[in-house]
Structure 1
Amino acid sequence: MKILFVHQNFPGQFLHLAPALARRGHEVLALTAETNKRSSPIATLRYRAPAKLAPDGVARAFSEAAERGASVTRAAAQLRSERNYVPDVVFGHGGWGETLFLREVWPEAQHLTYAEFFYNAAGQDTGFDPEFSKDGIGPRASVVARRAHLLMAINDADSAVAPTNWQASTFPAPFRDRIEVIHDGIDTDRVAPQPSAVFDLPGGGQLRPGDEVLSFVNRNLEPYRGYHILMRALPEVMAARPEAQVVIVGAEGQSYGPRPGTGSWKEMFLNEVRDRLDLARIHFLGQLPYARFVALMQVTRVHAYLTYPFVLSWSMLEAMSAGALVVGSRTAPVEEVIRDGVNGRLVDFFDIAGWSRALTDALASPDRDDHLRAAARVTIVEGYDMKRCSLPALVEFVERHGRR
């Protein structure tokens, strides 16, 4: 079959799927933004992204998505007219508008979409954290407006994939029967407990399995992933555990939600508790190469993971796969995977004192929680393993639709 992947940051969620399909003899091609610098073994074409728009009002998200979709469609039409390229399957991510008009270019193809998340004005991430919520009808209207291109994408798709049941449940009921839940998968062979693992700290020093290490990992340090809660819990933890080393991974940018008024979220919440912390034992490392991240998960004693009711991070599953004890927020995405006292610990997102107690107890008594670490590893191997679970299911999903 001819299979076309469309993703502005390809390979994105298709990192393993696209090469797996190519290995099975399919002709696999990718279409991505010209600004994307990521490499891939898959033949890749690039479209010219539209000039960045900044319209005022609630239509901004849809306007940008539609313009991006138009740019992709022009590139697709050129591909068809100049190369006579007609794919059997077009598989894109619905989040940026890239797939909006591709059926007009290839009406004979099967169109699949990655259904990552559907915004709602209440009951999910919006309004979850009162500290950063904006009152009034205007902000809610803006959230509703962000759904327009997502609705168009899934309405025009023949089928869709969502990585978790909860993320699938955010989409409107009339569309859920076309969404199959298949996680992208975790490489549990690579991300596994390693007694000989070593993590080098900047400026000297090494961490090894058995050391008293507390880790926290985000793409960017921001409220959506609970950075402010962690920082407010740390003074009590560090006072109670004078040997603990705290490793915080994440850049100072913004991925989700509002930007801070000035500076960065990292500095804002660090400054809030700076005078109550032993800064020599807190290591802010920015973003890490993947191999370094894996080593950190292999040496950490406790991994703190918090999130609004939003997209579940791969890093939480990878921490569990590496045999770390995850203390997670009691929010719906986390509760789908972690059961309190069975394969991890859960704490109410906003319970700062509860976070301090849970993290302190977990650092102090590692042997007590060995059964939770083992169960966490089993959870990921049995339900989220890339090679044995996720990848075969995703390959079957694409090939089944391509044969229609």
Structure 2
Amino acid sequence: MKILFVHQNFPAQFLHLAPALAARGHDVMGLTDEKNPRPSPVRVVRYKAPEDMKLPGILGRTYSEHAERGWLTARGCRALRDRHNYTPDVIFGHSGWGETLFLHEIWPQAKLLVYAELLYRTRGHDVGFDPEINPDSDEGRVATIARSAHLIQGLVQADAGLAPTRYQAESFPPELRQKLTVIHDGIDTDKVCPNPAAAFTLPDGRVLRPGDEVLTYVSRSLEPYRGFHRFMRALPAVMRARPDAQVVLVGGDGVSYGSPPRDAAGWKEKMLAELDGQLDLSRIHFMGRVPYPQYLALLQVAKVHCYLTYPFVLSWSLTEAMAAGCQIVASDTEPVRELVRDGENGRLVPFFDQPALEAALVKGLAGDPEAARLKAAARQTILDGYDLKRHSLPRLIDWVESFGP
């Protein structure tokens, strides 16, 4: 088959799938934004990046931005069709940025598949979940509905969709949910595994190793959607109780989800100001974003890994921490409960229960008597249902190939 992957940050979620399909003899190509610097495992072509334009008010802004990107993507595909006589059998694109919206108009006979990561909902998910940060309001719910328009249209236009977790699939209404298949992207458990010889070097030259009291927190950005504020507020009590603990945080200072604080440059600055004088900053290490080998080594030396999230997209960092054999302390929120069961393969605490979070972190750092069992069970959870080579990739290949001519 001729298979075209479409993603502004390609290869992204298709990092393993695209080359695997190419290795099976398919003609595989990626279409991406001209400004995307990421290396690709397969050949790529690029579409013109959107330019700054005058946008309508907030309710129409998101759709306008994504429809514009969708049109630029479609124009790039039209050039492939008209100038290079290229017609794919299957198109598989991420629906999050509108790139797939108009591709059936260019190639009506192709099967159009979308990676449907999440549908924004006004109730029961992230909106209004954390009143301190994002109070529930009519305006907020209306804006959420407006932001969902391109995601709904993207799945309506598609022949089928893929979601990585059951929670994310069920964010879509039943009439669209029936189009979705749930297959996780997969974790390479041969690479992401416990390593008793691992070492992580701090900026000051100190080296952390397995067995040290290391508490880790990882997020693309340090922000409330991933419970950064709740984690930071737990640290004074945790560090008093565990005077030898080292806390290592990985994540950027910007915002990936939600909004920046109104009274500070970023959430890190805001939380450090709030906790001024309560933290031993010599034992807290903000690493920013780090190369993957360094990130993996950090998970392998962690004694406790804390993962907190609103009801939202599940982070790869949780599945990778479980595969690395970390002892998990996580928020008892719906996307997490799909993987972590309290007392079986980790410890769950209510997102807003600060004393419970502090107690769970202290217990883990002090030496939870159930730690070995919990860590082994966490890794086994990934091996049994989320392993890249043994589960996810074969299923993803079969799913894509099922739409061939």
State whether TM-score is above 0.5: yes
Residue of 330, 355, 364 corresponding to 2:366: 364
Partner of 1:186: 187
Partner of 1:343: 345
Partner of 1:9: 9
Q: Distance in 2 between matches of 1:367 and 1:139?
A: 45
> Is the CA contact (8 Å cut-off) linking 2:127 and 2:140 kept in structure 1?
no
After superposition, give the CA deviation of every residue in 1:22-64 in whole Å (9 maximum; x if it has no partner): 1111000110001110001211111112213443221111110
- Superposed, 1:313-352 pairs within 5 Å as 313-352=315-354
After superposition, give the CA deviation of every residue in 1:317-365 in whole Å (9 maximum; x if it has no partner): 1001001001010000000000000000000001111111110011001
For structure 1, the residue ranges without an aligned partner over 5 or more in a row are none
What secondary structure, in the 3-state scheme, does the structure 1 residue paired with 2:328 have? strand
What secondary structure, in the 3-state scheme, does the structure 2 residue paired with 1:59 have? helix
What secondary structure, in the 3-state scheme, does the structure 2 residue paired with 1:401 have? coil
- Superposed, 1:30-41 pairs within 5 Å as 30-41=30-41
> Is the CA contact (8 Å cut-off) linking 1:301 and 1:366 kept in structure 2?
no
Higher mean alpha-carbon deviation, 268-277 vs 45-54, is at: 45-54
Question: Alignment identity in percent?
Answer: 57
The one-letter amino acid of 2:169's match is A
- Superposed, 1:220-369 pairs within 5 Å as 220-261=221-262, 262-369=264-371
> Is the CA contact (8 Å cut-off) linking 2:47 and 2:73 kept in structure 1?
yes
What secondary structure, in the 3-state scheme, does the structure 2 residue paired with 1:214 have? strand
Q: Distance in 1 between matches of 2:6 and 2:303?
A: 39
> Is the CA contact (8 Å cut-off) linking 1:238 and 1:244 kept in structure 2?
yes
1:167 aligns to 2:149 (yes or no)? no
The one-letter amino acid of 1:395's match is I
> Is the CA contact (8 Å cut-off) linking 1:33 and 1:49 kept in structure 2?
yes
The one-letter amino acid of 1:234's match is L
Partner of 1:133: 134
Higher mean alpha-carbon deviation, 259-268 vs 389-398, is at: 259-268
Residue of 391, 394, 397 corresponding to 1:392: 394
> Is the CA contact (8 Å cut-off) linking 2:33 and 2:47 kept in structure 1?
yes
Q: Distance in 1 between matches of 2:58 and 2:323?
A: 44
RMSD over aligned Cα atoms: 0.9
The one-letter amino acid of 2:113's match is L
> Is the CA contact (8 Å cut-off) linking 2:236 and 2:279 kept in structure 1?
yes
Q: Distance in 1 between matches of 2:369 and 2:211?
A: 10
> Is the CA contact (8 Å cut-off) linking 1:301 and 1:325 kept in structure 2?
yes
Deviation at 1:274, TM superposition (A): 2.8
The one-letter amino acid of 1:30's match is G
What secondary structure, in the 3-state scheme, does the structure 2 residue paired with 1:10 have? coil
Deviation at 1:271, TM superposition (A): 1.7
> Is the CA contact (8 Å cut-off) linking 2:319 and 2:382 kept in structure 1?
yes
> Is the CA contact (8 Å cut-off) linking 1:303 and 1:324 kept in structure 2?
yes
Q: Distance in 2 between matches of 1:129 and 1:48?
A: 38
Distance 1:194 1:136, change over 3 A: closer
Deviation at 1:366, TM superposition (A): 4.1
The one-letter amino acid of 1:365's match is G
Partner of 2:112: 111
What secondary structure, in the 3-state scheme, does the structure 1 residue paired with 2:45 have? strand
Instruction: Calculate the TM-score normalised by the size of structure 2.
Output: 0.98
After superposition, give the CA deviation of every residue in 1:273-314 in whole Å (9 maximum; x if it has no partner): 131111100000000100011100100000000000000000
The one-letter amino acid of 1:101's match is F
After superposition, give the CA deviation of every residue in 1:219-262 in whole Å (9 maximum; x if it has no partner): 00000000000000110000000000000000101100012223
Deviation at 1:134, TM superposition (A): 3.9
> Is the CA contact (8 Å cut-off) linking 2:127 and 2:136 kept in structure 1?
no
Deviation at 1:135, TM superposition (A): 4.6
Q: Distance in 1 between matches of 2:209 and 2:314?
A: 27
Partner of 1:122: 123
| Count of aligned pairs | 403
> Is the CA contact (8 Å cut-off) linking 1:168 and 1:181 kept in structure 2?
yes
Higher mean alpha-carbon deviation, 72-81 vs 41-50, is at: 41-50
Partner of 1:20: 20
